[in-house]
Structure 1
Amino acid sequence: MASKKLGQVFIRNSALFLCDMQEKFRPTIQYFPQIVEVASRMYRAAKIMEIPTIITEQYPKGLGPTVPEIGVERETDTILSKTCFTMCLPQVEEKLKEIGTESVILCGIETQACIQKTALDLLERGLDVHIIADACSSRSMVDRMYAIERLRQSGAFITTSEGMLLQLLGDAKHPHFKEVQKLIQTSAPDSGLLSKM
């Protein structure tokens, strides 16, 4: 019960969600290259730690595929198309039950739309939700920041990519520590979070 209040995360019962990081959003989303770089770090770390990853694409016929910089493996990754604003599709719900997920780590766009709706749906189902603030953005910084605040009020945990990865590892003696450490040796790029606080 304490983990629900504290937001503890463990590799064994976490899943990474990458939401709608698609080509057509590139010109309009604030800090898009920086958000993508951080999401790619999270994705690569999840692969190293064998954390299940679910990727969605919002109407890919019109908005294009997930950007190549993330590095998704289309042959093996779970990539689902959607038109709704939540990632909680029936296939996703089945997968979460199957793997015993208790915590979802959420990255993507847009913060006030699909990130917010997904997080609220997951919270309603009793899961811990961790928003990676430096891996989520919107067209408007106002929408981005107020969505983050709303999610905090609703019970989501707001953190950074480095903070999350170190929490998951828990110890410098973890067998994957050195591999993950390489991903965070360079600080995550600035994505305008401090200027709005």
Structure 2
Amino acid sequence: MTYTPLNPDRTAILFADLQTGIIELGITNELPRLRRAVSALAKLARLFEMPVIVTTAPTQSGVPQVIPEIEKALGMTLPLHTRTTTDAFQHAETRYAIMNTGRKTLLIAGVATEISVQHSALSGAARGLEVQVVLDACGGLSPRTEDAALRRLVQAGIVTTSAPSIAGQLAGDITQPRGGQAVGILYEMASG
């Protein structure tokens, strides 16, 4: 096995269904911990200038409400790609947004791990992307079904990781300004 730390110039992030009405369905990750990990991931995206794609599921009430941690961390409102599929790559607009970044590594965070995260990760890998699922920024519907999804993903060659691992990889030399800031995001997330 070879190991190469994440390169922010090759990496994009997909936030899938991190919205009111869905995020609360995840029971495998405590909601405050999930929110902190998503916030940390969004802050790292901003710090290292990695493109972010936010995809949502349709709601009965109209416009989906993405959790505020994403926009707050990024300091901007991002366009929402509201899909009618469980797989981000089966929705043309979302697929185009992801592939148009030109990035070869895709980090995925979302709820539910067994549905939108799993399906999007498998499709991304099938399209030649190096996909990593950020476990602490995901939530599953049950421990049993999430475990089955994660085993399937690992068998397909998809890497499972965490926000602290990503922060550490991106930090590189922590005596450099961005490295120090990345470690600061890690400590902020860990301290809650």
TM-score normalised over the length of structure 2: 0.85
1:46-85 mapped onto 2 (5 Å cutoff) = 46-62=45-61, 64-71=64-71, 76-85=77-86
Task: State the partner residue of 2:159.
Answer: 157
Question: 1-side partners of 2:180 and 2:75: how far apart?
Answer: 27
Gapped regions of structure 1 (runs ≥ 5): 191-197
TM-score normalised over the length of structure 1: 0.83
- After superposition, the Cα gap between the structure-2 partners of 1:7 and 1:52, relative to the gap in structure 1 and judged at 3 Å, is same
Once the two structures are TM-superposed, the CA of residue 188 in structure 1 deviates from its matched residue by 3.8
Work out the percentage of aligned pairs sharing the same amino acid.
Answer: 22
Report which stretch shifted further, 124-133 or 66-75: 66-75
Contact 1:34 1:189 in 2 (8 A): no
- State whether structure 2 residue 168 is matched by structure 1 residue 169: no
- After superposition, the Cα gap between the structure-2 partners of 1:92 and 1:171, relative to the gap in structure 1 and judged at 3 Å, is farther
Question: 2-side partners of 1:53 and 1:97: how far apart?
Answer: 12
Q: Which amino acid aligns with 2:34?
A: I
Once the two structures are TM-superposed, the CA of residue 157 in structure 1 deviates from its matched residue by 0.5
- After superposition, the Cα gap between the structure-2 partners of 1:175 and 1:66, relative to the gap in structure 1 and judged at 3 Å, is same
Per-residue CA shift, 1:21-70, capped at 9, x if unaligned? 11112443212332122011101110111100001111134484112233
Question: 1-side partners of 2:132 and 2:67: how far apart?
Answer: 23
Per-residue CA shift, 1:92-131, capped at 9, x if unaligned? 3333443321000010110111000000000000100011
- State whether structure 2 residue 24 is matched by structure 1 residue 16: no
RMSD between superposed Cα atoms in Å: 2.5
Does the residue aligned with 2:21 lie in a helix, a strand or coil?
Answer: helix
- After superposition, the Cα gap between the structure-2 partners of 1:185 and 1:141, relative to the gap in structure 1 and judged at 3 Å, is same
Task: State the partner residue of 1:193.
Answer: none
Gapped regions of structure 2 (runs ≥ 5): none
Question: 1-side partners of 2:43 and 2:22: how far apart?
Answer: 22
Question: 2-side partners of 1:26 and 1:155: how far apart?
Answer: 26
Question: 2-side partners of 1:144 and 1:189: how far apart?
Answer: 26
Q: Which runs of 4+ in 1 moved over 6 A?
A: none
Per-residue CA shift, 1:123-170, capped at 9, x if unaligned? 000100011111111121111222111111111001111111222333
Task: State the partner residue of 1:134.
Answer: 136
Does the residue aligned with 1:99 lie in a helix, a strand or coil?
Answer: coil
Does the residue aligned with 1:139 lie in a helix, a strand or coil?
Answer: coil
The one of 95, 108, 111 aligned to 2:110:
108
